[in-house]
Structure 1
Amino acid sequence: MTAGRPAAVLSGLGSWQPPTVVGNDVVAARLGVSEEWILQRTGVCTRRRVEPGTATVEMAVEAGTRALKSDGSGQVDAVLLATGTPDRLCPSSAPTLAARLGLCGVAALDVAGACSGFLYGLAVAGGLLAAGTFHRVLLVGADTMSSVVDPEDRTTAAIFGDAAGAVVLRAGDPGEPGALGPFVLGSDGDHGDLIHIAGGGALNRHGRVSLAMDGRSVFRHALHRMGGAVADAAELAGWSLHEVDRFAVHQANARISRALAADLGVDPARWISNIEHAGNTTAASVPLLLDHANRHGGLAPGQRVILAAFGAGLTWGGTSVTWPALAAGD
């Protein structure tokens, strides 16, 4: 970051998951597989699903409310919503979210980065804060994956869950706890078809609106790209991987997280995880993980933390933070 410019500092944190828990017994019976098969392939035991009629903005309001309460300031200048499952194609969902939070009149925009959306949103918010355009930004990652996942598809039905996570970022000193470090961002559109929803866009207006994924290829690309983002983010922060206290990476699949730790030569105990009872919640994954860890002792003030994600696009990103003391937003 350029000397003299403010950094984006984490000052609020919150999340929300729907109350309905879907266990592996339900999913296994529908797919014709065993519960152990699901657990071994994904690391997921339970995931949350919204009830029919509940949409992405409703979850985002819950998480955003908690993050705003955690921050304590009561006001932000802008609202960003990272999501791959907006309530409608038009208008974007962020203005509706802002209005529902009592923030009508502030700038509001969607960030469509799939599983990397929250990391991209952090970078967008950080740039706006560094430029002095805004002084406080609410960023929510939320996805209603049950609206696009085919319940009969073995590749996707067992892994995804619905959730929302949120942070408040304020302009602050680059050296203070909570200040986000330099960002690593990248994309590879040549492999965009590895994770895609074919229908509903201008290219295929009447096609099927359900998620398709090439699991084996995604696994390989995730290891390469997310591993690179982790290593590069640590290097840009001036940390060796062995100096990092916690790794908070997108909860795509437990096997990916284990393989990443092994490839990087990092103790798996330093990789925080909640995939067992959350599943892959796409844009909500990283903030949901951070909130769970902050609440339950997985993160402590002063720890060096690397954030990273990989998803459709293909897209990936990473950054660093020295963890601050954050109040719970209940």
Structure 2
Amino acid sequence: MTGRDVHVLSAASALPGPPVDNVTLARRFGMDPLWEQWVEAFIGTRSRHLALDLESGKITSSLADLAEEAGRRALDAAGLTGRDVDAVVLGTATPDRLMPATVNIVADRLGIDGVRSFQLQSGCSGAVQALDVARQILLSGDARTVLVLGGDVIARFYDVGADLRKAAPAELVNYVLFGDAAGAAVLSTEPAPGSARVRGLFTRLVGRGREPGAVLEWFGPADRDSTRPAASEDYKAIEEHVPVMAQEVLAELLDGLGWRPEDVDVLLPPQLSGRMTKLISQRLGLPSAVDVSVVDDSGNCGNAIVFLQLERALAGPVGAGTRAVGISIESSKWIKAGFALEGNG
């Protein structure tokens, strides 16, 4: 069905526990105090929220817990309940279990039933992939309101007993880059005060022939004693490829909409680390754009990060007629994703 618009009515987030700063991490893992200064200078992330008690190693919040909280807040902000939802989509790299799907646990808790549900397994760009699926459902004419969720609990891969002084860089970087969170957005074919129209959106796999930039293992009984690290990150490859991909996403969005760089009022840049995000924003060269960035204080919280940015953007710089561009790059097998919004009057 053509001639329909899709609108983001609201966005919300849920963060577990108080922020954990670099001093706390350094103290917990026996790192030299200078390590904390190195993290701030070269990574740029000051703090993150963890769904984990660092002392005991116990998980304090599941992905379902956080996604339920974020989803409820987003629905409340839109003046809706679970009964108003026609479909629900979740993007995550870290579902609570292989089965049942976390999206269905969250739907049950929110009183959503008798609708389509989808769970997408992906890295950071899974948030935009989930928005894409929701948009296609709405454009089909078969639904009026879709709840979109995204989040990750990466701290479950932490080994709180690890001696990080002996860890390889590919493993060490995960302890400082990432945080835990969930986010949600309500998409609808009907605009509302404070909403934004989706002007463009795409995701594209570009990983043919490229080695993965990030790996999360899922160990079972047969291989749980493997010596492979549960999580690893090729940060050099990410530093090399992500800025270039971000420029490509921006160019494609602007070309598709006929926008010039100076037409963009708000930028939601990739949220990899505080330092890299700033460098990418500068490289994109949008002269009038206000950055909406949260990674300095939340860490890279995977599939939640876009929703944290949307929540802040809708509450602040995205107003009537404002044009916003969001960019998300997934490094595990290299996916480019982006979206463009325009504030409703």
Per the normalisation by structure 1, the TM-score is: 0.89
Corresponding residue for residue 7 of structure 1? 5
Once superposed, what is the RMSD of the aligned Cα atoms? 2.5
Deviates more, 1:68-77 or 1:202-211: 202-211
Corresponding residue for residue 125 of structure 1? 134
Percentage of matched positions with identical amino acids: 27
Corresponding residue for residue 328 of structure 1? none
What does 1:13-92 correspond to in 2, within 5 Å? 13-29=11-27, 30=29, 31-32=31-32, 33-51=34-52, 52-74=59-81, 75-92=84-101
Q: CA deviation at 1:298?
A: 4.2
Contact 1:82 1:112 in 2 (8 A): yes
**Residue 305 of structure 1: which of 317, 324, 328 is its match?**
324
Q: Does 1:284 align with 2:304?
A: yes
What does 1:100-249 correspond to in 2, within 5 Å? 100-149=109-158, 152=164, 153-172=171-190, 178-189=196-207, 190-200=209-219, 207=226, 208=228, 210-249=230-269
Q: How far apart are the structure 2 equivalents of 1:14 and 1:177? A: 13
Instruction: Quickly say closer, same or farther: Cα 1:170–1:201, change in 2 above 3 A.
Output: farther
SS in 2 for 1:185: strand
User: Max radius of gyration: which structure?
Assistant: 2
Contact 1:95 1:104 in 2 (8 A): no
Q: CA deviation at 1:89?
A: 1.1
Q: Which runs of 5+ in 1 are unaligned?
A: 326-330
Instruction: Quickly say closer, same or farther: Cα 1:281–1:220, change in 2 above 3 A.
Output: same
Q: How far apart are the structure 2 equivalents of 1:267 and 1:27? A: 37
Instruction: Quickly say closer, same or farther: Cα 1:71–1:238, change in 2 above 3 A.
Output: same
Q: How far apart are the structure 1 equivalents of 2:266 and 2:288? A: 10
**Letter of the 1:196 counterpart:** V
Q: CA deviation at 1:17?
A: 0.7
Contact 1:155 1:213 in 2 (8 A): yes
Q: How far apart are the structure 1 equivalents of 2:126 and 2:118? A: 12
Instruction: Quickly say closer, same or farther: Cα 1:116–1:206, change in 2 above 3 A.
Output: farther
Q: How far apart are the structure 2 equivalents of 1:246 and 1:150? A: 38
Q: CA deviation at 1:203?
A: 11
SS in 1 for 2:111: coil
**Letter of the 1:119 counterpart:** V
Q: How far apart are the structure 2 equivalents of 1:268 and 1:322? A: 15
Instruction: Quickly say closer, same or farther: Cα 1:227–1:28, change in 2 above 3 A.
Output: farther
SS in 2 for 1:260: helix
